[in-house]
Chains A and B, each alone.
Chain A
Amino acid sequence: MNPFYFGPSERPLYGAFTRGRSDTGGSHGVLLCYPLGSEYMRAHRAFRQLNTLLNRRGIDVLRFDYSCTGDSAGAGIEADLSTWIDDIDWAVDELRDTALCDRVSVLGLRWGATLAALAARERDDIEHLVLWDPIVRGPDFLEAAIGTTHLSGTVGIEGFPFTPELCAAMAEVNLVSEFPDPGDAAVTVLVAEDRDDYRSVRDAVAARTPSVQYRVVPSPADWSKADPFGDALIPQEIIQVAVDLLDPSEDEG
C-alpha cells in the first residue's frame, strides 16, 4: 500500500494506491469514491475490503479523500461540491499516471456515486461507472439528514459540518432530471434495494447510453445510521457483486 498526497498544491489530496496482484497488472485501474461525513467513516473498512478483492483480481486501485475530508487538506467548513467533482478528476488522472493503466473505472458509494457521475461528464476515458446506492436527489438527502434543504448557518450532521453553501449546492443535485452524459462509459446502478428513485436513475442513464445495468443485491445499506460507537458497515454480498462487475472476465459468482 502506498499512501501519498497528490493533486493541486493548494489542496493536497490523500490517496492510498495498491497494485493488483497480477503479472499483467497495470491494464485496469479502479478509482473508489467514498461517501461523505459520518458515512465515510462507516464505509472506510468496506472500501478497504473492496480494494483488497479488486487487487486479488489483478486490478490497481486508488482510494482517496476529497478536499476537506479525511486526511486531505482543508477544514470541513470549507467543503465545496464543485471542488469535490474536480478532486475526482484529479484522482482519475493520478490513477492513470501512477498505475499506467489503459482502462479506468470508477465506483462511488452514496454521495461518492453521485459525485462520480457528475465528474464523469467531463471525461471520455471512463470505461465503467458503478453507482452504488447513489444519492438520487440532493433535497431528499438533506431532508432526511437535517429536516430542511436550506440553512441559515452551519450545522453538524453526526460530527461533520454542513454549511449553507454546501447544502445549497447539494439541493441542486438531481440525477433523474439531469443525469450527466457519461460519455463512452458503461454505467451500472448497483443498489441494495429495488426502489422507485433508483429505477428512475436507471431510466435516466438509459436515455443517455445503451450501456446501462441495474443490479439489485439485497444487503445492509443503513449508511447514515448514527452509531454511538462508530461501528463499520461491511455488506459482503454487494461488495462481491461490485468486484464481479468491475472484473467480469473472472466472475466468480
Chain B
Amino acid sequence: MKERALTFGPANLVGILTQPSPDVAIPDAPACVILNSGILHRAGASRIYVKVARALAGVGMTTLRFDFSGIGDSEVRRGESIPIEERFIRESREALDYLEESLGVDRFVIGGLCSGADGAFWTAIDDERVVGVWQIDAFSYHTPRYYLHRFLPKLFDPRAWLHSLKVRLKPLNTDTSEDRDELFAKPEYRRIFPPKEVVAEGLSALADRDVALYFLFTGAQEYLYERQHHEAFPEGMKTARVRFIPECAHTMTELEHQELLIADLREWISPLGRSAAPSRDLVAQG
C-alpha cells in the first residue's frame, strides 16, 4: 500500500491517494472516492475514512479521500456562491476527473458519512461513471412500521409519557452567538432531507444503472429496523445491502462497529472490482 498527499482541480483541493501494492492491485477496478462528513476533515470521524481506504487497498482498490473547499486543508473557493449540494457534486466530479486523467480509471465507487453520504448520493445520480455508492446514515424516511416500532412499546409506559412532557417543556435553544470573523466562521451544513419522492426517484435511477448500493444506519438516525429503507423505497432498493446497528454512534466511536463497516465494505466492494463496466448501450436502455 502506498499513500500520497496531493492537490487537484482548479481549487487545489487537498487529498490523500491510497493505492494498493502492485501484487494485489486489480486491473480496471473502480476507484473509491470518500467525501467529508460535515466539517470533519478527510481522515473522517474516528479516523474511519483512513481505515476504509487502507482496507480497500488491501483488496486491490485505489481510494482518494479529499477535503471539499473550505473544509480540512482545502482553501475556501472565493468569489462563488452556489448551493452546497451543487458544490458537493462539482467538487466530487473534479475528484473523479482527476483520477480518470491521472490513473485512467473510468468507474468509481463513492461514499461517506452523513453529509458525505448525501454528496455521494447526489454525485452518483449526476455522474454515470459511478458504479457503487456506500452511505452511512443516508437520508431515511418513516414507514408505517417505523411508527409501530417507535410508539407501540411506549404506549402503556408511564415513564415514556413523563419523558415526553419534559421534552415539550424544555426551553428552546437561545444561543444567539455569531461568528463575526470570516476566518473563524465554520462552514454550515444544515442537513435538510429532500422530499421522499426525490430520493425514491434517485434510487430508482441508480437501480436502473445497476449501481451497487450499501447502507449503514446508526442509532442516531430516525431508523428503527433493518428493513426500513427497503420498505420506504421498494423500487430502488432491490439489490441494496443494508446494515442497521442501533447501538452505533453517528460518528462510529465504537471500534467493533468500525470493524463491521470495514468488513462489510470489503465484501460488498470486491465483486465490483471483478465485474466489467456496464456498456453504454445498457446504461442508455436503463
Q: Measuring CB to CB, which residues of chain A are less than 8 angstroms from any residue of chain B?
A: 1, 3-5, 12, 14, 16, 38, 41, 44-45, 48-49, 52-53, 69-71, 73, 76, 154, 156, 158-161, 226-232, 234, 236
Contacts and interface: CB of A to CB of B under 8 A. Distances in A.
A132 B113 CA distance: 31
Interface of B: 3-7, 12, 14, 16, 37-43, 45-48, 50, 72-73, 75, 114, 179, 181, 183-184, 186, 220, 249-255, 258
B47 A14 contact: no
Contacts of A227: 251
A12 B3 contact: yes
17 contacts: A1-B7, A3-B5, A3-B6, A5-B3, A12-B3, A14-B5, A16-B14, A49-B183, A71-B43, A159-B48, A159-B252, A228-B220, A229-B251, A231-B38, A232-B186, A234-B179, A234-B186
B50 A3 contact: no
A202 B39 CA distance: 35
A38 B43 contact: no
Given A14-B16, A71-B3, A234 B251 contact: no
Contacts of A76: 47
Given A16-B14, A45-B41, 17 more contacts: A1-B14, A3-B5, A3-B6, A4-B5, A5-B5, A45-B39, A52-B183, A70-B50, A71-B3, A71-B42, A158-B253, A159-B47, A159-B251, A160-B46, A227-B251, A228-B220, A230-B251
Contact of A159 (B16, B179, B181, B253): B253
A139 to B, nearest CB: 23
A1 B39 contact: no
A159 B3 contact: no
A197 B250 CA distance: 35
The 8 closest A-B pairs by CB, nearest first: A159-B46, A3-B5, A159-B253, A156-B255, A230-B251, A230-B40, A230-B45, A3-B14
Q: Which of A16, A70, A159, A234 has the most CB of B within 10 A?
A: A159
